[in-house]
A = this chain, B = another copy of it.
Amino acid sequence: MNETTRTFQEYLKANRLKLTSQRRLILDVFVSRGCRVTADELFKEVAELDDGISLSTVYRTVKHLLQSGLARCSHYGDGTTRYEPADGQTSHLVCEVCGRKVPIANPYLECMHAEAARQAGFRMLHCHVTIHGLCHECLTKHEN
Protein backbone atom coordinates (compact mmCIF):
# COMPACT_ATOMS: atom_id res chain seq x y z
CA MET A 1 0.00 0.00 0.00
CA ASN A 2 1.41 3.38 -0.97
CA GLU A 3 1.71 6.65 0.89
CA THR A 4 -1.45 8.15 -0.54
CA THR A 5 -3.59 5.14 0.20
CA ARG A 6 -2.27 5.14 3.73
CA THR A 7 -3.21 8.77 4.20
CA PHE A 8 -6.68 8.07 2.90
CA GLN A 9 -6.95 5.02 5.10
CA GLU A 10 -6.12 7.11 8.15
CA TYR A 11 -8.66 9.73 7.21
CA LEU A 12 -11.31 7.06 6.82
CA LYS A 13 -10.50 5.39 10.10
CA ALA A 14 -10.54 8.71 11.92
CA ASN A 15 -14.04 9.31 10.61
CA ARG A 16 -15.39 5.80 11.07
CA LEU A 17 -15.63 5.37 7.31
CA LYS A 18 -14.83 2.27 5.32
CA LEU A 19 -12.30 1.57 2.63
CA THR A 20 -14.36 0.01 -0.12
CA SER A 21 -13.11 -1.36 -3.42
CA GLN A 22 -14.74 1.58 -5.20
CA ARG A 23 -13.00 4.17 -3.05
CA ARG A 24 -9.68 2.45 -3.50
CA LEU A 25 -10.07 2.34 -7.28
CA ILE A 26 -11.21 5.93 -7.55
CA LEU A 27 -8.26 7.08 -5.48
CA ASP A 28 -5.82 5.04 -7.56
CA VAL A 29 -7.05 6.36 -10.86
CA PHE A 30 -7.15 9.87 -9.47
CA VAL A 31 -3.57 9.94 -8.24
CA SER A 32 -2.06 7.98 -11.10
CA ARG A 33 -3.63 10.32 -13.60
CA GLY A 34 -2.21 13.24 -11.66
CA CYS A 35 -3.84 16.07 -13.54
CA ARG A 36 -6.98 18.16 -13.36
CA VAL A 37 -10.10 16.12 -13.97
CA THR A 38 -13.81 16.67 -13.96
CA ALA A 39 -15.92 14.40 -11.77
CA ASP A 40 -17.40 13.02 -14.94
CA GLU A 41 -14.02 12.42 -16.61
CA LEU A 42 -12.82 10.62 -13.52
CA PHE A 43 -16.00 8.56 -13.56
CA LYS A 44 -15.45 7.54 -17.18
CA GLU A 45 -11.90 6.45 -16.52
CA VAL A 46 -12.89 4.49 -13.49
CA ALA A 47 -15.82 2.92 -15.31
CA GLU A 48 -13.41 1.43 -17.84
CA LEU A 49 -11.79 -0.57 -15.08
CA ASP A 50 -14.96 -1.39 -13.21
CA ASP A 51 -18.22 -0.59 -14.91
CA GLY A 52 -20.17 -1.20 -11.77
CA ILE A 53 -19.11 2.10 -10.24
CA SER A 54 -21.62 4.92 -10.36
CA LEU A 55 -21.16 8.64 -10.88
CA SER A 56 -22.71 9.27 -7.48
CA THR A 57 -19.97 7.26 -5.84
CA VAL A 58 -17.34 9.26 -7.68
CA TYR A 59 -18.90 12.48 -6.40
CA ARG A 60 -19.13 11.11 -2.89
CA THR A 61 -15.55 9.86 -2.93
CA VAL A 62 -14.14 13.05 -4.36
CA LYS A 63 -15.64 14.91 -1.41
CA HIS A 64 -13.74 12.67 0.94
CA LEU A 65 -10.56 13.20 -1.05
CA LEU A 66 -11.01 16.94 -0.61
CA GLN A 67 -11.67 16.60 3.08
CA SER A 68 -8.71 14.36 3.60
CA GLY A 69 -6.52 16.93 1.91
CA LEU A 70 -5.52 14.54 -0.87
CA ALA A 71 -7.33 16.57 -3.50
CA ARG A 72 -7.80 20.20 -4.29
CA CYS A 73 -10.41 21.67 -6.59
CA SER A 74 -10.88 24.75 -8.65
CA HIS A 75 -13.73 26.19 -10.62
CA TYR A 76 -13.41 27.42 -14.14
CA GLY A 77 -15.11 30.08 -16.17
CA ASP A 78 -16.90 27.52 -18.27
CA GLY A 79 -18.67 26.21 -15.20
CA THR A 80 -16.62 23.07 -14.76
CA THR A 81 -15.14 21.96 -11.48
CA ARG A 82 -11.82 20.22 -11.71
CA TYR A 83 -10.01 18.16 -9.13
CA GLU A 84 -6.33 17.42 -8.87
CA PRO A 85 -4.07 15.66 -6.41
CA ALA A 86 -2.84 18.08 -3.77
CA ASP A 87 0.90 18.07 -3.71
CA GLY A 88 1.09 20.52 -0.86
CA GLN A 89 2.02 23.09 -3.44
CA THR A 90 -0.07 26.24 -3.34
CA SER A 91 1.84 28.56 -5.63
CA HIS A 92 1.77 28.21 -9.38
CA LEU A 93 2.63 29.84 -12.64
CA VAL A 94 -0.12 29.44 -15.20
CA CYS A 95 0.43 30.07 -18.89
CA GLU A 96 -2.42 32.08 -20.37
CA VAL A 97 -1.94 30.54 -23.78
CA CYS A 98 -1.33 26.83 -23.30
CA GLY A 99 -2.63 26.43 -19.77
CA ARG A 100 0.59 24.87 -18.54
CA LYS A 101 0.75 24.95 -14.77
CA VAL A 102 4.11 25.03 -13.00
CA PRO A 103 4.54 24.95 -9.23
CA ILE A 104 6.65 27.65 -7.65
CA ALA A 105 8.96 26.68 -4.86
CA ASN A 106 10.38 29.80 -3.33
CA PRO A 107 10.76 29.90 0.42
CA TYR A 108 11.84 33.50 0.26
CA LEU A 109 8.59 34.48 -1.40
CA GLU A 110 6.75 32.50 1.26
CA CYS A 111 8.53 34.56 3.86
CA MET A 112 7.62 37.80 2.18
CA HIS A 113 3.97 36.85 2.31
CA ALA A 114 4.09 36.05 5.97
CA GLU A 115 5.72 39.41 6.51
CA ALA A 116 3.10 41.23 4.42
CA ALA A 117 0.44 39.56 6.54
CA ARG A 118 2.19 40.52 9.75
CA GLN A 119 2.31 44.14 8.66
CA ALA A 120 -1.46 44.12 8.33
CA GLY A 121 -1.93 42.52 11.72
CA PHE A 122 -2.62 39.07 10.31
CA ARG A 123 -1.08 35.78 11.20
CA MET A 124 -0.62 33.86 7.98
CA LEU A 125 -1.79 30.25 7.93
CA HIS A 126 -1.26 29.46 4.28
CA CYS A 127 -1.35 31.27 0.99
CA HIS A 128 -2.16 30.80 -2.63
CA VAL A 129 -0.27 32.52 -5.36
CA THR A 130 -1.25 32.27 -8.97
CA ILE A 131 0.93 34.11 -11.42
CA HIS A 132 -0.67 34.41 -14.83
CA GLY A 133 1.64 34.92 -17.75
CA LEU A 134 3.22 33.38 -20.78
CA CYS A 135 5.50 30.39 -20.61
CA HIS A 136 8.80 30.29 -22.45
CA GLU A 137 7.49 28.11 -25.27
CA CYS A 138 4.45 30.23 -25.96
CA LEU A 139 6.55 33.37 -25.74
CA THR A 140 8.95 32.20 -28.44
CA LYS A 141 6.14 30.92 -30.64
CA HIS A 142 4.41 34.27 -30.49
CA GLU A 143 7.52 36.18 -31.35
CA ASN A 144 7.58 34.73 -34.84
Q: What residues of chain A have their CB less than 8 Å away from a CB belonging to chain B?
A: 75, 81, 93, 95-96, 102, 104, 106, 108-109, 112-113, 116-117, 120-136, 139
Contact = CB atoms under 8 A, between A and B. Distances in A.
Contacts of A123: 133-134, 139
A122 B136 contact: yes
A127 B134 CA distance: 12
Contacts of A136: 121-122
A10 to B, nearest CB: 22
A116 B109 contact: yes
A116 B121 contact: no
A126 to B, nearest CB: 5
A133 B135 CA distance: 31
22 contacts: A75-B75, A75-B81, A93-B120, A96-B125, A102-B120, A102-B122, A104-B120, A109-B112, A113-B131, A116-B131, A122-B133, A122-B135, A122-B136, A123-B133, A123-B134, A124-B131, A125-B132, A125-B134, A126-B133, A127-B129, A127-B133, A129-B129
